[in-house]
Structure 1
């Protein structure tokens, strides 16, 4: 495919990652290191795609008070900055990275107040997305934004002929999945908990996850990818139901691994890979991201090596 790639991040964030030897609740800690990275799901996707050699157009809403780190990232990676500036500051997400356990504890602050006016401006900025383009709608919504904002943007982009991948959760995801079939996203990437929340039931086993993904497919979502943490990821596309896994990784930071997975799926779509190779590449993006703090990927040979190490298992049709 030769179309442009667009990412939409309505609620970007500055990710402040504080690295600790071990996180002990109620104690005073001496940080090993602290970094601040421009983030938010769509921004992270655009950053990873740029490292892979696929520049993207970054759309969304940036608070004027602290937009500098985003502008620096876009300039450094040659990402086209199409973010709208709004009053106030982008939210700050504090990530406490525990080196002892490998876990990360998140404390996410709210973003600037927005509403229908900002959504209308965002809508207008996407009107030149055309047939054959790829669009990634990712992340949460800022305070005041209508809960169906992503659903409305998805419907608009589908009318314009774009292929749409959505990575969101809660009410924004539910609203998009309530769209008519022609206005549904082409691909969704929930994690197991987000999928269970949408389904309104627990999904304890892989068969449960696969059946729920098949249900989304029958509704009209062409490809469903469910991230499963240490178990890997499940892809349902056409008749294929594939479970991908990698040997255990020792993460430096788990922040943004899901966003890297989305970037891998987007890159695979752009490169017209089949379902199996798409899942391999997406898993490699996610695993490679585990070794980096911030929305960055290592050089291409390392990602290719990881992709070759991905094990795929075919699951029975659900």
Structure 2
């Protein structure tokens, strides 16, 4: 099988602090602390490796705090193709409210990535990505890199015959969505807020979300997946619109749930499932991850069991 390739240009070590309740302005005592090597593309790679798919991960990592990433990638059996540069990979703080399950993120600046470092990463991508393969471009861009970088990378990888799955936000996402047709990704996964930013208006109900996602697909993106938190996700493709919803899950941590959904989407595409099957698998990945800390899936049989409980409905717009 061709390996799935993931790109993480702004990785992070996630330090998750669990609190009984988060009360801004007050002194707290943590009930637990967990440290995970991560970043969106790294998280996607971990979930895909847990599922049993071959994965190669690239991007940039700091040499000065390499151990967590070395250990994680080796333990998961992920082909480590990262470009190591001077400095420390950033640490992001995540405050988990045990009472509500909500997570407050405090993200720090990333490494300084030079034009030379970026050229090396692009060379690695050209080596790894094959015609017919899947490439996941995920996460924020470090300061100093061009805001339209994802569009440029999508153009390069599409020209090599790859399907590009993009999960980004802010200016990087806006630039990618404004690109010419030859630089648009195969699939994107905005959340509702990110889709509202693109649309320039509130999207208060499923019908309005579906309408905005359909407008994006009509721009030339074959598959638009919108994550909706507890409401599940919408899948918009040439065959119509599907709304997938998972049963209630006891939440251990929401950290990486969106990345797990992307991983499930990629796993479905890799397996050639129909869109309903892909939607079920994507939601099952996300639901399975919610019950576990870190970017980790439960066993394959449990994920397959969750997939059987996912409700998928076609909706009109």
- Normalising by structure 1, report the TM-score: 0.97
Residue number in structure 1 paired with 2:277: 277
Alpha-carbon shift at residue 246 of structure 1 (Å): 1.6
Q: Decide whether the 8 Å contact of 1:223 with 1:236 is kept in 2.
A: yes
> Take 2:82 and 2:196, find their aligned partners in 1: how far apart are those partners?
32
Counterpart contact for 2:2–2:54, Cα < 8 Å? no
How many angstroms does 1:177 deviate by?
1.6
Could you tell me which residue of structure 2 aligns to residue 25 of structure 1? Answer: 24
1:108 maps to 107
Paired position in structure 2 for 1:203: 203
Matched, 1:43 2:49: no
Stretches of structure 1 lacking an aligned partner (at least 5 in a row): none
Aligned 8 A contact 2:3 2:53 in 1: no
What TM-score do the two structures reach when normalised by structure 2?
A: 0.97
Once residues 94 and 88 of structure 2 are traced to their aligned partners in structure 1, the CA distance between those partners, rounded to angstroms, is: 18
Q: Which moved more, 1:150-159 or 1:259-268?
A: 150-159
Distance 2:87 2:122 in 1: 20
Residue aligning to 1:187: 187
Correspondence 1:212-223 to 2 at 5 A: 212-223=212-223
Q: Which residue of 1 aligns with 2:310?
A: 310
CA distance in 2, matches of 1:312, 1:136: 25
Residue 28 of structure 1 and its aligned partner are, at CA, apart by 1.9
- In 2, Cα distance between the equivalents of 1:168 and 1:298? 26
CA distance in 2, matches of 1:173, 1:29: 35
2:175 matched to which residue of 1? 175
Distance 2:263 2:32 in 1: 27
RMSD (Å) for aligned C-alpha atoms: 1.1
Residue number in structure 1 paired with 2:226: 226
> 1:147-198 CA deviation, whole Å, 9 max, x = no partner?
1111111111101111110000111112212222122100000000011112
Q: Take 1:206 and 1:270, find their aligned partners in 2: how far apart are those partners?
A: 28
Consecutive unaligned residues of structure 2, counting only runs of 5 or more, are: none
Report what 2:132 is aligned to: 132
Give secondary structure in 2 for the equivalent of 1:156: helix
Distance 1:131 1:252 in 2: 38
| CA deviation string 1:10-37 (max 9, x = no partner) | 0000010111111122222221111110
Question: Deviations along 1:218-246, whole A, 9 cap, x unmatched?
Answer: 11100000000111100001122011112
Alignment partners' CA distance in 2, 1:80 and 1:3:
12
Counterparts of 1:179 and 1:251, CA distance in 2: 37
Aligned equivalent of 2:145: 145
Cα offset for 1:310? 0.6
For 1:164, what is the secondary structure of its paired residue?
strand
